[in-house]
Amino acid sequence: VAGILVEASTSEGQGAGDGGRGMSKTHAPRPTPHAPTLYAVVGIGINVTTDPRTLPDGAGSLAGAGVACDPYELTGALYGRFRAWYDRWAAEGFEPIRKVLRPWIGLFGQVVHLSAGATELEGTAMDLDEAGRLLVRLDSGLVRALDVGEVTLLR
């Protein structure tokens, strides 16, 4: 029904208001010269009214599931939720978000393929660390913390 791509960062001591991402200064926390710069770039695609017969196998839509909603109201509601979580991240760090996300992440304990540029890895997704990076145990036993790349669940 939906796909989400996220890029997020915390950079210490840069003092830029939005990491160069174009966020409104009225909505971003005002950093001090030594405060971390926070940004999250989120791309979301939601099949709201798409006829499921026109979608690839395994894909669905809200309309196909019998859920009727206005795309503009959905967009506004999503913005409100993201704004609240962004403000919490700015005030408290990632840990409160990590606690809420962990039960919803179906990758933990599953074998995954990771692709980041020229790097390709396979391993078992274990957890998120305190910075939000995916922890993956490789066949060698080494645990890698990955903060970028495409993750595919291997079945």
- The whole-angstrom separation of Cα 59 and Cα 55 is 6
Q: State residue 24's pLDDT score.
A: 38
Beta 111-116 vs 150-153: how paired, if at all?
Answer: antiparallel
- Mean confidence (pLDDT) of the chain: 81
Q: State residue 110's pLDDT score.
A: 94
Q: State residue 36's pLDDT score.
A: 63
Residues of the chain with pLDDT below 50 are 13-34
Look up the pTM and report it: 0.63
Q: State residue 100's pLDDT score.
A: 93
In 3-53, which residue ranges form alpha helices assigned H by DSSP?
Answer: none
DSSP 104: G
Q: State residue 122's pLDDT score.
A: 94
Handedness of CA 127, 74, 21, 90 (dihedral sign): negative
